[in-house]
Amino acid sequence: MTTIATTASQLPALPTGQQIATAGQYLTFVLAGETYALGILNIKEIIDYGQPTEVPMMPSFVRGVINLRGSVVPVVDLMARFGKGNTKIAKRTSIVIVETGGKAGGGLQDIGVVVDAVNEVVDIGQQDIEPPPSFGTGIRPDFISGMAKRDSRFIILLNVNRVLSEDEMANLSKTVIGDSDHAGI
């Protein structure tokens, strides 16, 4: 019979800079039939999907921007961010407004994420959280902070600061702009 890790030193090592998710409340949502979750402390609100205003020369996963009570909020399509095509807009499609760590200089940034459907807020105990797998999820391992066991299924706990890294998204848009500058125009 195998032994169970009882201390942090017995757990498998995570990639540098990656932390495993902690117990707490999570908002669960669906993308292409898979259940994902974000920590409830990062969620500001959930709104019905409205057509964002497109912004030229943005990465393909940025759907555009919306006006949220006078603030410009970028909207990211998580399916496209994961490299799995665009989310198909349907009746239950929503935009989850997430507060992220913002720019390297400090401050918080609101970002909207497009999801197929919002499920519920769930309490997840530490005993139900496994370290993120290093392969097999179909998305970058650094986007995952853990896997939560719930009702004989797994919920993928996302690392909001990696998935919605403003610095990384800004670098991608610079690459897109830089590539178009050299397109022979």
Domain hosting residue 77, numbered range: 24-180
Comparing CA positions, the residue from 99, 34, 35, 95 lying closest to residue 66 is 95
Comparing CA positions, the residue from 53, 62, 78, 38 lying closest to residue 169 is 62
Q: For the chain, how many structural domains are there in total?
A: 1
In this structure, is residue 112 part of a structural domain? yes
pLDDT at 175 (0 to 100): 42
pLDDT at 104 (0 to 100): 56
12-66: per-residue pLDDT in tens? 444 444 568 898 999 999 999 999 999 999 999 999 999 999 999 888 899 999 9
In this structure, is residue 9 part of a structural domain? no
In this structure, is residue 130 part of a structural domain? yes
In this structure, is residue 12 part of a structural domain? no
Residues of the chain with pLDDT below 70 are 1-19, 102-106, 135-137, 168-185
pTM for the whole thing? 0.78
pLDDT at 137 (0 to 100): 64
pLDDT at 90 (0 to 100): 95
Q: 102 vs 18, 35, 37, 112, 160, CA distance in Å?
A: 18, 25, 20, 13, 11
In this structure, is residue 30 part of a structural domain? yes
pLDDT at 6 (0 to 100): 40
In this structure, is residue 159 part of a structural domain? yes
CA gap 89, 48 in Å, rounded: 11
pLDDT at 149 (0 to 100): 92
In this structure, is residue 185 part of a structural domain? no
CATH number at residue 53: 2.40.50.180
